[in-house]
Amino acid sequence: MSHRIHRLLIANRGEIAARVIRTCARLGIESVLAASDADLDALPARLADRVVRLGPAPAAQSYLDPAAVVRAALAVGADAVHPGYGFLSENPALAQGCAEAGLVFVGPSVESLHAVGDKLTARRHALAAGLPVVPGGEAADLAAAQAVAAEVGYPLLVKAVGGGGGRGMKRVRSAGELAHTLDLASSEAAAAFGDPRVYLERYVESGRHVEVQVLGDGSSAVALGDRDCSVQRRYQKLFEEAPAPLIPDRVRADMASAALALAVHLGYRGLGTVELLYDRQRESFYFLEMNARIQVEHPVTEAVTGLDLVAEQLAVAEGLPLRLRQEDVVLTGHAVECRINAEDAAHDFRPSPGQIERVVLPVGDGIRVDTHVQGGSVVPPFYDSLLAKLIVHGTDRADALARARAALDLLRIDGVTTTVPVHQALLADAEFAAGGVDTAFFERFLSRDLAVAS
């Protein structure tokens, strides 16, 4: 049964709110932004058709409160809720609350959210769907952890079961560190996710973070190509590209099949991303986790597929069958994305909130900037530091990188310190330009190239 969406409540902020509003405007859907006190005058509030106050500035009292979001949606007569990414995007309580209030939740079913929201459950589903997983297992206590460690060997990773964003994730180099690190990871996990459970995984020395974008309608699914997100600092992505460079065709096809197998196994409806660890030496891959939401880096997939992923996401949320078959997915050229954050790289990436004086953006063929800031915008200290995403599409990787270099030289965000210089240095790096760097690359690059650049 399909429910046409007429009025959409966007329960998020920042560039993703502005991004969803743009698609609403194109589709003739009325957009209502649910904003905290800190965001009532921000650009997304100016772009939305309507604005509703969600709560005070701290996220726990606004963007992270499922009941407040449902109340806001009902108060404005919305028929659907888009959660964006982060905040409540993968929270089953919001999906459940929407269902009970008769609202369409623009995301997967409550069952799917439960299935992939917990890393151990997700791992079990991946195994059931026939995906390879990184050797590892549960670590309910020290004895269990020692038993798993004996099997997978050192170094290994301790990961939060309910985790994400690198919190609760720690590396253990030897048996002597296990007990202490287990405790530390467990308290961090409890603080960040309210769930102290952790598990162990083999640490792959030279791995690349490659992910496959999928879209499902609950009965069938399509794979929309892959992305490489290996350029990370403390498990936070800084630069993404599509397709992932230097992957053998056979492996790329296997990764897409694996992602589809998991989506079909779950009866997945919505946009989702299957995150994989690509082992450079072995030319093989492992399942890491599945993200049941639209992601920050979705524009690189949009650039190479020519699709509006938000529009596709809304269509399947309305209950419509997929509008494209796998053979309709044609990838063109190469796209890259630079995340511009309000951070000071010269001071260990210290946050830089404040007032933005002036914003000048590059425009032209193949250049897209997703942002929620303009001259006069205030960057509040309560939320994450993403200011803008520069997305550049070229005929091939070298062309995309060259265009990105030129575009970065034109981009100005004055008033706060940004990571633009980091991207300029990154795009000038020979190892990075060659392609296929692993997740350990960026820390090496920071101590090498950035030190020289500054």
Q: State the residues that interact with another protein by CB under 8 A.
A: 22, 25-26, 33, 35, 40-41, 43, 45-48, 50-56, 58, 61-62, 65, 67-68, 71-72, 75-76, 187, 190-191, 342-343, 349-351, 353, 358-365, 367-368, 374-376, 381-385, 406-407, 409-412
Interatomic CA distance for residues 97 and 234, integer angstroms: 34
**343 vs 438, beta carbon nearer another protein:** 343
Catalytic residue, from 208, 227, 293, 403: name it: 293
Kindly state the smallest distance separating residue 224's Cβ from another protein, in Å: 20
CB burial class (10 A; 0-12, 13-18, 19+) of residue 150?
exposed
Distance of CA 278 to the CA centre of its chain: 18
248-267: buried (b, 16+ CB within 10 Å) or exposed (e) per residue?
eeebbebbbebbbbbbebbb
**42 vs 274, beta carbon nearer another protein:** 42
Give catalytic status of residue 293 as yes or no: yes
Kindly state the smallest distance separating residue 100's Cβ from another protein, in Å: 17
Please report, in angstroms and rounded to a whole number, the separation of the first and last CA atoms in the chain.
Answer: 58
Kindly state the smallest distance separating residue 75's Cβ from another protein, in Å: 5
**251 vs 361, beta carbon nearer another protein:** 361
Kindly state the smallest distance separating residue 433's Cβ from another protein, in Å: 20
Can you say whether the dihedral through the CA atoms of 230, 111, 103, 34 is positive or negative? negative
* One-letter amino acid of 401: L
Instruction: Please give the sequence-ordered ranges of beta strands (E in DSSP) within 218-342, or none if there are none.
Output: 221-233, 236-242, 269-279, 284-291, 334-341
Interatomic CA distance for residues 289 and 274, integer angstroms: 6
Kindly state the smallest distance separating residue 46's Cβ from another protein, in Å: 4
Interatomic CA distance for residues 241 and 337, integer angstroms: 6
**71 vs 114, beta carbon nearer another protein:** 71
Residue located via tokens 């151990």: 120
**38 vs 262, beta carbon nearer another protein:** 38
Residues labelled catalytic: 293
